[in-house]
Amino acid sequence: METSLILVLLLAPFLGFLFNVFFGKAVGKSVSGIVGTLSVVVSFAVTLYFFLQVNQTGKPISVSLFDWISFRDFNVNFGILLDQLSLLWLLFVTGIGSLIHLYSIGYMHDDENMHKFFAYLNLFIFFMVTLVTGSNLLVMFIGWEGVGLCSYLLIGFWYKNTEYNNAAKKAFIMNRIGDLGFLIGIFIIASLYTTLDYGQLKELIVGGTNGGNTYWIGAACLALFIGACGKSAQIPLYTWLPDAMAGPTPVSALIHAATMVTAGIFMITRMNFLFDLAPQIQNIIAIVGAVTALVAATIGLVQNDIKKVLAYSTVSQLGLMFLALGLGAYEIAVFHVITHAFFKACLFLGSGSVIHALHGEQDMRKMGGLKKVMKITFVTFLISSLAISGIPPFSGFFSKDEILMTAFHSNIALWGIASLASIMTAFYMFRLLYLTFFKNFRGTEEQKHHLHESPGLITFPLIVLAILATVGGAISLPGNSWLNGYLEPVFTKVSHEAHHFGNTEYMLMGIAVIGGLIGIGIAYMKYIKQSQVPGEDSEITGFSKVLYNKYYVDEVYDFLFVKPLNALSRFFRDTIEPALSSLVYGFGRTANYIGTSGKTLQNGSIGFYLFGFVLGVAAILTYLFLAQ
């Protein structure tokens, strides 16, 4: 019963994928979309069933489907583990996934390749479910690679545009770098513990096996962290995520905001027992997270593409989650993942709704005044913006506040950086909101004429997500956290005795809220009071130009890696390859030359042959005499 239900959970999206690949074009757009959506809804329903069961019994469900690799004493099962952590992740992957599928039916309806879009989305959900539910690192790796593939396919969905294809390739290659790290981490763990199963690993590590070998454990953690960096867009591998906005907006919402990019956080949370043994790596994670949060937030301040702002905000928020991970506060990172999934999915879908209304326009300088026509989109967007800015009582406030509080208790510098990033977040989110929805419309007359609220299929997911973004914080209220209790079995040590709530905590909370309000206030002054509109690209000067050009990181990478690599390729193509081939050709040519010139010796004249013969005999005799 359980096994078959798990198979339903796992295979429903895959069957949806197969259906859409083979019959999607034949059955038409509506059926294709409905089948795609239903297959994810089925997964969601099964997940919900298991979630309620596990929540009640507290016992994880573990099923081994088949033996995959058996080599001496090293065994890998293709196993499924449904414990508190994976079920939580599944809930929002399939839940938000369903909503976004529904949204896509409305959003992608004019696209000729809609069946392909749903096929890819379903495949993505399948791999994401594999990633989350696998009972060992290798199964997770299958999902990990699979979601990378789907991300590539969906970023380059509009494949006729070369720029989009380049963005897809960039994402794929950046991810490959991380994947290599992940793989090396898996190898190290396999050689240290001869198992990859989470349960066995946890037992071994908690039992103290190899506890002295901190050097290798640290190396494994670092390698895994590099993998997480690639997938979750942290410095130095974050540049692919903003470019990934080339994909259709539902993809940005699902893959590049809510689910796939949180895979790195999931992995580190999964391996928390290992990371606990490597405090120096945890420090690195915390610092990388904090710096990423700040850097991405500063870039987000000046971007003018509505999706780019959201992309940098995603990178920044992921940075905050990594900060929490680095501080050992896994449950808080998970909490922020969940609330972030709600409000960021809502923001992306909202921006999609705006782009839909403007027929593909993404530049905020050409928007404005949409509040009047797109009421539902505006309200949901406002709620999500408040949530991401950390304004109570919206969900983002609780999760972000907990991260800040944890940071404050361990390192005040990290707290400062994170707080600064939060203020900036509030600023650029409201800059986005004001520029898009307030004042007068700045686009063309024709666009203005066509402005409309999006259809129900698009607004319904927005409403649901906005509600979740509002109340999502309830799962982990300060002092009375359902989430912490629920996740407790996943972690080895309860690192934080529930925060003792005193004056400091209330003060921090106050500072965070005031910071958020200051950010919003500055945005209000600039864009509502003074009615500023960001200038044309050529007018941007000074430091904002550096920010607008993303610190020239792409150019630096181009200079440091791409150009030398291209030069190396050219060197190999123009120098090494000709040299090698001329060597090989040389053998042939020499043989040929010897042949043609030797041919003339065989001139058919018997006298000549005899002369050669006698000469040869004479030479041999002479040699023999001389040799004696």
Partner 1 sequence: MQNILQEIGIENYIFLSALLFCVGVFGVLFRRNTIIMFMSIEIMLNAVNLLFVAFSTYHQDAQGQVFVFFSMAVAAAEVAVGLAILVSIFRNLSSIDIDNLKNLKG
Question: What is the per-residue binding string for partner 1 in 555-594, x denoting contact by CB under 8 A?
Answer: ----------------------------------------
Burial of 194 (0-12, 13-18, 19+ CB in 10 A): middle
What string of H, E and C letters represents the secondary structure of 368-413?
CCCCCCCHHHHHHHHHHHHHHCCCCCCHHHHHHHHHHHHHHHHCHH
501 vs 611, which CB is nearer to partner 1?
Answer: 611
Helix axes 162-193, 198-206, angle to 10 degrees: 50
Q: Tokens at residue 538, please?
A: 């050529």
Sign, CA torsion 586/588/594/599: negative
Q: Which stretch binds partner 1 (CB under 8 A): 197-205, 242-250, 557-565, 602-610?
A: 602-610
| Identity at 70, one-letter amino acid code | S
Rounded least distance, CB 609 to partner 1, Å? 8
CA angle 180, 230, 425 (to 5 degrees): 170
What is the SS3 assignment for 494? coil
Answer yes or no: are the C-beta atoms of 16 and 46 closer than 8 Å.
no
Tell me whether residue 4 or residue 628 sits nearer to partner 1 (CB atom): 628
Q: What number of residues does the chain have? A: 628
Instruction: Report how many residues bind partner 1 under the rule CB under 8 A.
Output: 11
- When binding is defined by CB under 8 A, the residue of 602, 624, 625, 626 that contacts partner 1 is 602
Question: Does 529 participate in binding partner 1 (rule CB under 8 A)?
Answer: no
Q: Using the rule CB under 8 A, give the single segment among 115-123, 163-171, 361-369, 606-614 that binds partner 1.
A: 606-614
Confirm or reject binding of residue 621 to partner 1 (CB under 8 A): no
Q: What is the dihedral of CA 435, 437, 442, 444, to 10 degrees?
A: 140
- Relative to beta strand 476-477, strand 480-481 is antiparallel
Residue 597 lies near partner 1 (rule: CB under 8 A): no
Look at the alpha carbons of 591, 596, 602, 608 in this order and tell me if their dihedral is positive or negative. Answer: negative
Taking the CB of residue 606, how many other CB atoms lie within 10 A of it?
Answer: 7
**Rounded (10°) CA dihedral 384, 388, 391, 394:** 50
Residue from the set 501, 561, 571, 611 that interacts with partner 1 by CB under 8 A: 611
Q: How far is the CB of 599 from partner 1 (least distance, A)?
A: 5
CB of 614 to partner 1, least distance (A): 6
CA distance 509 to 478: 11
**Comparison of 280 and 592: residue with beta carbon closer to partner 1:** 592
Positions in 135-154 near partner 1 (CB under 8 A):
none
Contact with partner 1 (CB under 8 A): which of 614, 619, 620, 621? Answer: 614
Residue 589 CB, nearest distance to partner 1 (Å)?
Answer: 20
The verdict on 596 binding partner 1 (CB under 8 A) reads no
The nearer residue to partner 1, 479 or 604, going by C-beta atoms, is: 604
Measured from the CB atom, the residue of 159 and 608 that comes closer to partner 1 is: 608
Residue 607 binds to partner 1 (criterion: CB under 8 A): yes
Nearer to partner 1, 57 or 596 (CB): 596
Q: How far is the CB of 610 from partner 1 (least distance, A)?
A: 6
**Least gap, CB of 598 to partner 1 (angstroms):** 9
Q: Which long-range contacts (CB under 8 A, 24 or more apart) does 26-33 make?
A: 27/115, 29/109, 29/114, 29/115, 30/105, 32/114, 32/115, 32/118, 33/101, 33/104, 33/105, 33/108, 33/109, 33/114, 33/118
- What is the C-alpha separation between 299 and 425, in angstroms, rounded? 11
Would you count residue 599 as binding partner 1 (CB under 8 A)?
A: yes
Q: Candidates 68-76, 123-131, 212-220, 610-618: pick the segment binding partner 1 (CB under 8 A).
A: 610-618
Closest approach, Cβ 624 to partner 1, in A, equals: 16
Maximum Cα interatomic distance, the chain, rounded to a whole number of Å: 118
Q: Which of residues 260-319 bind partner 1 (CB under 8 A)?
A: none
Of the candidate residues 604, 626, 627, 628, the single one contacting partner 1 (CB under 8 A): 604
**CB 604 to partner 1: min, Å:** 3
Applying CB under 8 A, the span of 130-138, 170-178, 345-353, 599-607 interacting with partner 1 comes to 599-607
Q: Of the listed pieces 301-309, 480-488, 489-497, 604-612, which binds partner 1 according to CB under 8 A?
A: 604-612
Closest CA to 430 of 508, 347, 355: 347
Provide the binding-site residues for partner 1, judged by CB under 8 A.
Answer: 599, 601-607, 610-611, 614
